[in-house]
Amino acid sequence: MSIRNIKAIFFDYDDTLVLVKDARRDALNNIARILSEKYSLNLDTVINTLLRIEQKMEISGIFNRDLWWREALTQFNITHVPTYELEKLTEIYWNTWAHKTLPQQYALETLYELKRCGYILGLIANTDGKPGLKIKRLFNLIIIAGDDTKEIKPSPEPFIVALNRLNLRGDECMYVGDKAYSDVPGAKAVNMLTVLLTDEPLYGLDPKPDMTIRSLKELLDILDCHKT
């Protein structure tokens, strides 16, 4: 696959274009505090319960936070909680997440430069939040897997939908993500060039990304996209 064939660049969202580690932690801790105070529960126990549920739900591809809170409350033998209360918790969760989310270093600069160089830009991310950033207007196409498609990454379905909507072949596209297990398999299945944003060694990965970068800015060198 030749870099010169690339016409479109698709990106993952969380921890690729924005940093969400602290936002995720603070949002979950905020919900734990609310539940602890409302139902007189031990805060550390609630936090640990929510962390286990978060892991379980994400592995199962369940991103509706209302269901997370109901599962947590059920484990504390608290049932018959009105739906509107769960929805309110989810609203608080995402508001905390949005407030704490920070842009990835060089994200906006890189996106603007790639746009200036004539590349089609796309976002392919699993459904789990509210993008809501100003960078949204830079994208020609946004695919939220699980909303716009039946399956989520690492399934190739979101990538196939993106290619069909833009009438492009896989070898004309690059996909940039940060998680090898969810971002590489689906993109490689449709023959996209895969780029992983990481500073960790890649041991035992299958399939492996075509290349790795430590900063989004490196894409400008790879694609020879610089101001003249």
pLDDT in tens, 155-168: 999 999 999 999 99
Q: What is the pTM of this model?
A: 0.83
Residues 38-74: tens digit of each pLDDT: 999 999 999 999 999 999 998 888 888 999 999 999 9
pLDDT, tens digit, 9 for 90 and up, residues 165-217: 999 999 999 999 999 988 999 999 999 999 999 988 777 777 889 999 999 99
**Helix locations, 101-216, DSSP H:** 107-116, 157-166, 180-183, 185-189
When pLDDT is cut at 50, 70 and 90, the band that residue 144 belongs to is: confident
Q: What is the amino acid identity at position 56?
A: K
Task: Collect all residues with Cβ–Cβ distance below 8 Å to 188 and sequence separation of at least 6.
Answer: 194, 207
In this predicted structure, what is the pLDDT of residue 207?
Answer: 82
pLDDT at 128: 62
Domains, the chain: 3-19+103-222 (3.40.50.1000), 21-100 (1.20.120)
Which of the four pLDDT bands, split at 50, 70 and 90, describes residue 98? confident
pLDDT digit string, tens, across residues 9-44: 999 998 999 998 899 999 999 999 999 999 999 999
* Spatial separation of the C-alpha atoms in residues 64 and 66, rounded to whole Å: 5
Q: Which residues pair with 141 in a beta bridge?
A: 122
